[in-house]
Amino acid sequence: MHNKENNNQHEYDPQPLRISVLVLQKLEMRKYIPTPKAYFVLRNTLMWVLALFSILFGAFSVSGILFRMVNVFQVFPSSPRFGHVFDLFPLFWMLLFGLFMYVTYLEVRRTNQGYKYHLSWIAGLMLAVSGILGIVFYCVGVGFLLDKAAARYVPFNRDIEVMQKERWYNPEQGFLVGEVLQAEEKKEMFVLRDPEGGLWDVLFTAGLTDDERDIVSEGHMIGIKGMIHEKDRKLFIACRIVDAEIQGKGYFLSPRIRVLLDIGSSTNERNSEDIRMTICEGVRPL
């Protein structure tokens, strides 16, 4: 078929103008030389490196998406409104992931052979690689850390722990959330520290299931539906208990790292000691 090209010199072709002579003259006159191969190799490599970075940032976005999706039930309001969309769906992370996917596509397209790959192929690869890396990042706590940062610097993006507090911390209305500081063996009562550092004695009620009682363990975040005792305003009666542990904190679950990175947790030894003393006072007079 390509032989036709050579036989295809038609009558409308103009007389040869010896463009080659003119081109060589210009090359000599303007001292043009071929651009070094290293330049093209570097440019091509740079495009691949940028594409890999985009995939990496895409993976960070995936970890943010996972973090929000896994923990959405911790903050799901009792009466959802349209305004909650920004809180409940990881829109920011999804937009960021879409952006990085598009940037990756553009960068791959600019590599030497990149044009041979269809958008769907690149998108599929990006989803697979970023997805797997994103799960790993989520598990080690990168999603949690990034979500914290996004809550601090990105408009309409709120801290999930703050939202959890808003949703679950309203003792007067029968909602209490916090960290279990000390639980009794008999599972009749335990001490809980609320998000503002206040301490509560919490009483189990007979209606609680074994599963609900098992959630109560030291250091665990729990949510309680119940009521404040009429006489003792620091005593809370638990009618329902749910797990309120924010998932996906990974390594950042460690209080030491959280304090180091200034991402919440006001735990300190002195505080714990005071609490123990308080509990001991109540149970066994000194």
Which member of 42, 95, 112, 173 binds another protein (CB under 8 A)? 112
Q: Does residue 29 interact with another protein by CB under 8 A?
A: no
Calculate ∠ Cα 149-151-155, nearest 5°.
Answer: 120
Binding status of residue 32 toward another protein by CB under 8 A: yes
Please list the residues that pair with 191 across neighbouring strands: 182, 201
Question: Does 19 interact with another protein (rule: CB under 8 A)?
Answer: yes
**One of 73, 76, 115, 251 touching another protein (CB under 8 A):** 115
Max Cα–Cα distance, the chain, nearest Å: 115
Report if residue 4 touches another protein, rule: CB under 8 A: yes
With respect to another protein, which residue has the nearer C-beta, 11 or 211?
A: 11
Pair 227, 202: CB distance under 8 Å: no
Residue indicated by tokens 């769906």: 89
Return the residue of 57, 102, 117, 175 that touches another protein, per CB under 8 A. Answer: 117
* CB 101 within 8 Å of CB 58: yes
Nearer to another protein, 115 or 251 (CB): 115
Kindly state whether residue 116 participates in binding another protein, applying the rule CB under 8 A.
yes
Query: Looking at the DSSP assignment, which residues form a beta bridge with residue 235?
Result: 201
Q: Is residue 21 a contact point for another protein (CB under 8 A)?
A: yes
23/277 with CB nearer another protein: 23
Q: Does 83 bind another protein (CB under 8 A)?
A: no
Stretch that binds another protein, among 34-42, 55-63, 232-240, 242-250 (CB under 8 A): 34-42
Take residue 171 and report the two structure tokens written for it: 């003792």
The residue type of 56 is L
* Cα-Cα-Cα-Cα dihedral sign, residues 128, 132, 133, 134: positive
Q: Which ranges constitute the DSSP H helices of 76-159?
A: 85-88, 91-109, 119-140, 142-153
State in angstroms the smallest separation of the CB of 114 from another protein. 9
Strands 221-228 and 175-183: antiparallel
Please count the residues of this chain forming the interface with another protein, following the rule CB under 8 A.
36
In terms of residues, how long is the chain? Answer: 286
Is residue 40 a contact residue for another protein (CB under 8 A)?
A: yes
Question: Residues in the site for another protein, rule: CB under 8 A?
Answer: 1-2, 4-5, 8-10, 12-14, 16-17, 19-24, 26-28, 32-37, 39-40, 109, 112-113, 115-118
